[in-house]
């Protein structure tokens, strides 16, 4: 099917992008890497290209946090030193698992989050690390937690705003963090994606944050599982069982669909399995699954 776009405009700043969007004829669409255009016809009259809008910075903040520009490509996020240094390189590793090298070379972090697919591969680890998103209407800037950003499949709170950056807090710079993507092939989108980030004080698990992707209408935090783990001692007798129960709670919070990639039942079971595996790897403990759970 052929389609026509009125104008293809280039913005040299976020402010200019918003001005072009407002001043254009009909409905405009921001385009960063443009990889979504390869997959579906955009519902717009004109395009505002923001690849030259100066949004690609990746910096360590003076406080020890991390700022990832919305226009940073997934390849640059996978390889930049500040990202490799933050939370054990967990964000870099997640970026490395998105698509293939040609896609990662143009696809941006902002595009990944703003496309708001339940399977967006950058979401789980960023949720687990309590990222904030910074956005602007061209005049005012606002920051909000990433967990409040997604409102449904392909929907976000952005409205007529542009995403400027994703900001990671200094307090999680040393958080013990990892994520795992389960997919049919190395280049396919996620069937299930789980990220776990832990705040440990010696043998005390002060807090656990668990991000889930591809198992609900939007990427989400497994709050019940997190609450079950908060404050537990790694030496307590029932610890291995408690970790297994938390994985089960994460699976219960998922509401996966069935499609050609896998059944909802399989996806839910895999949430528990991946949670147990990641917790076990991070804590170096054998985890006891509840009796009815699938084996790790």
Shortest distance, position 236 Cβ to ligand FAD, whole Å? 37
Shortest distance, position 188 Cβ to ligand FAD, whole Å? 7
Distance between CA atoms of residues 261 and 144, nearest Å? 33
User: Nearer to ligand FAD by C-beta: 18 or 279?
Assistant: 18
Shortest distance, position 167 Cβ to ligand FAD, whole Å? 14
Between the CA of residue 91 and those of 73, 244, 249, what are the distances in Å?
Answer: 13, 25, 25
User: Nearer to ligand FAD by C-beta: 60 or 193?
Assistant: 193
Q: Using CB under 6 A as the criterion, which residues of the chain lie in contact with ligand FAD when the complex forms?
A: 29-39, 50, 70, 74, 98-99, 103, 107-108, 110-112, 114-115, 119-121, 158, 162-163, 189
What tokens does 93 get?
């590793």
User: Nearer to ligand FAD by C-beta: 144 or 204?
Assistant: 144
Q: Which residue is nearest to ligand FAD (CB)?
A: 111
Shortest distance, position 256 Cβ to ligand FAD, whole Å? 16
Sort strands 192-201 and 204-213 into parallel, antiparallel or unpaired: antiparallel
User: Nearer to ligand FAD by C-beta: 19 or 158?
Assistant: 158
Distance between CA atoms of residues 205 and 3, nearest Å? 55
User: Nearer to ligand FAD by C-beta: 189 or 247?
Assistant: 189
Residue among 66, 116, 62, 71 nearest 91 (CA): 66
Q: 3-state DSSP helix/strand/coil percent for the chain, to nearest 5?
A: 35, 25, 40
User: Nearer to ligand FAD by C-beta: 149 or 244?
Assistant: 149
Shortest distance, position 227 Cβ to ligand FAD, whole Å? 28
Shortest distance, position 27 Cβ to ligand FAD, whole Å? 11
Distance between CA atoms of residues 88 and 94, nearest Å? 12
Distance between CA atoms of residues 84 and 93, nearest Å? 8
Q: Rounding to the nearest 10 degrees, give the CA dihedral for residues 242, 248, 250, 253.
A: -130
């Amino acid at each position: 099917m052929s389609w026509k776009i009125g104008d293809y405009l280039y913005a040299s700043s976020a402010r200019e992008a918003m001005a072009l969007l407002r001043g254009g004829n009909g409905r405009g669409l921001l385009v960063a890497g443009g990889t979504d255009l390869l997959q579906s016809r955009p519902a717009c009259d004109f395009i505002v290209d923001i690849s030259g809008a100066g949004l690609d910075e990746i910096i360590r903040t003076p406080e020890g946090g991390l700022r990832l520009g919305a226009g940073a490509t997934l390849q640059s996020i996978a390889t930049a030193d500040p990202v490799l240094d933050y939370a054990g390189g967990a964000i870099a590793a997640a970026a490395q698992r998105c698509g293939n090298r040609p896609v990662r070379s143009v696809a941006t972090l902002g595009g990944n989050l703003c496309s708001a697919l339940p399977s967006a591969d950058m979401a789980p680890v960023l949720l687990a690390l309590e990222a904030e998103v910074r956005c602007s209407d061209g005049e005012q800037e606002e920051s909000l937690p990433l967990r409040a950003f997604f409102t449904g499949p392909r929907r976000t709170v952005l409205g007529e705003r542009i995403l400027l950056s994703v900001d990671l807090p200094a307090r999680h710079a040393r958080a013990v963090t990892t994520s795992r993507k389960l997919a049919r092939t190395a280049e396919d989108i996620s069937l299930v994606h789980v990220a776990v980030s832990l705040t440990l004080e010696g043998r005390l698990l002060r807090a656990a944050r668990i991000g889930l992707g591809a198992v609900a209408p939007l990427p989400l935090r497994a709050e019940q599982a997190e609450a079950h783990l908060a404050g537990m001692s790694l030496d307590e007798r029932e610890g291995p069982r408690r970790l297994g129960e938390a994985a089960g709670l994460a699976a219960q919070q998922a509401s996966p669909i069935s499609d050609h990639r896998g059944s909802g039942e399989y996806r839910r079971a895999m949430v528990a399995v991946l949670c147990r595996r990641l917790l076990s790897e991070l804590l170096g403990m054998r985890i006891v699954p509840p009796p009815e759970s699938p084996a790790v």
